[in-house]
Amino acid sequence: MRPEAYKDTTTGRGLKYHYYAVPAKEPKPTIIFCHGFPSTSQDWRLIVPHFEQQGYGIIVPDMLGFGGTDKPTDPSFYRATLIAKDIVDILNAEKIDKVIGVGHDWGAFILARLANVAPERFYAYAFFAVSYTLPDPNFNIQDALKFTKQHFGYELFGYWMALSEEGSEKLLEQHWDTCFGLIWPHDPELWKTHMAPLGVLKSTLLSDQRFPLPSYLTEDDKKTMSDVLLKGGMAGPVCYYKVRVNGQSSYDDSTIPKDRCIPPASSPIFFGAALKDYVCIAEAGKQTLTSPAFKDHKVTIRDFDADHWLILSVPDEINRELGAWIESVSATIPNAHL
């Protein structure tokens, strides 16, 4: 991804967003890529060039709290529908009417809310690791912890509690080597034992254990990623968890009209399931998209024998599968520019 292709814009909320932007070559549409936690637009560095070379327009924001984008530390700024509106402001700044949306991790969650607040701006949606997330005004973290413990044998989201505690950003920053090796695990099953269950993330970080890097990252990758993430600090990024735990996300979902709780049936959906993801369980994601609510949708599901970070670990497979799907979608749509 070329440094000279980055831009800045100020959204309607007065927030500066830093983003990668390449115009489409007609008649190709534009694709927007939304990354997750803790990441930057560079998470897509092995995916974007493939589509850029084919003439697709590209928009890749540093999401709120990361990279060159503003990093407020008030959790209320991180309500998903508000971030979704920020993304629409970026499209407006680029004078792009409609796009194909691609999201990974928290970026997939934001993409789902884009489907709720601005479905008219999207041709189609592709989700990686995290499937489409239905609005849930009744979401309660304690209920979620009990449910996942009963069904999977451990709390999938126990680490949310640690990340939402006061001062959690310091815990991550002061034990960064352990944190890095845990977030990007050499063995995906570490998430089942050292991160996801209630209480174990904090104890793992305090132990200062060192874990080998996964095969898809080098020491240079670690240094580059760490330098950017630590420069910005983790106080903003942990707000993605705080807003889910403190109930603001549930309130946010309550503002979504019932007739906008799922994407329009006319919008194709792709789900790239990570079979070795032990938090964002692939089968759970598939259940959502095969439920009666999506019976009229054109849903494409592809399995990847990869951990949560499949956009880094199996980029060639993703470029092939996502590329074929986007080609089929783009063949049915007109020019995406205003």
Q: Does residue 336 surpass a pLDDT of 70?
A: no
Mean pLDDT of 151-177: 97
Sheet with 122-128, edge to edge strand ranges: 6-10, 16-22, 57-61, 30-34, 99-104, 122-128, 269-274, 299-304
Confidence at 338, pLDDT banded by 50, 70, 90: very low
Share of the chain above pLDDT 70, in %: 99
Q: Output the average pLDDT for the chain.
A: 96
Question: What are 118-143's pLDDT values in tens digits?
Answer: 999 999 999 999 999 999 999 999 99
Q: Does residue 47 surpass a pLDDT of 70?
A: yes
Mean pLDDT of 233-262: 96
Confidence at 335, pLDDT banded by 50, 70, 90: low
Q: Does residue 77 surpass a pLDDT of 80?
A: yes
The one-letter code for the residue type at 103 is: G
- What does the block give as tokens for 42? 């560079």
**Is the Cα dihedral 170, 175, 180, 182 positive or negative?**
negative
76: which DSSP letter? G
Mean pLDDT of 308-318: 98
Mean pLDDT of 223-244: 97
What pLDDT is attached to residue 257? Answer: 95
* Residues facing residue 246 across a β-bridge: none
Longest dimension (CA), the chain: 55
- Single out the residue of 97, 115, 93 nearest to residue 34, CA to CA: 115
> Domain ranges in the chain?
3-136+253-330, 141-246
What pLDDT is attached to residue 237? Answer: 98
Q: CA of 186: how far to CAs of 64, 183, 205, 306, in Å?
A: 28, 9, 16, 11
The one-letter code for the residue type at 76 is: S
Confidence at 183, pLDDT banded by 50, 70, 90: very high
- Single out the residue of 111, 100, 95, 121 nearest to residue 29, CA to CA: 100
- Single out the residue of 176, 190, 183 nearest to residue 223, CA to CA: 176
CATH architecture of 3-136+253-330: 3-Layer(aba) Sandwich (3.40)
Q: Does residue 321 surpass a pLDDT of 80?
A: yes
Cβ–Cβ < 8 Å for 91, 58: no
Output Rg (C-alpha) for the chain, integer angstroms.
19
> Rounded to an integer, what distance in angstroms lies between the CA atom of residue 281 and that of residue 156?
9
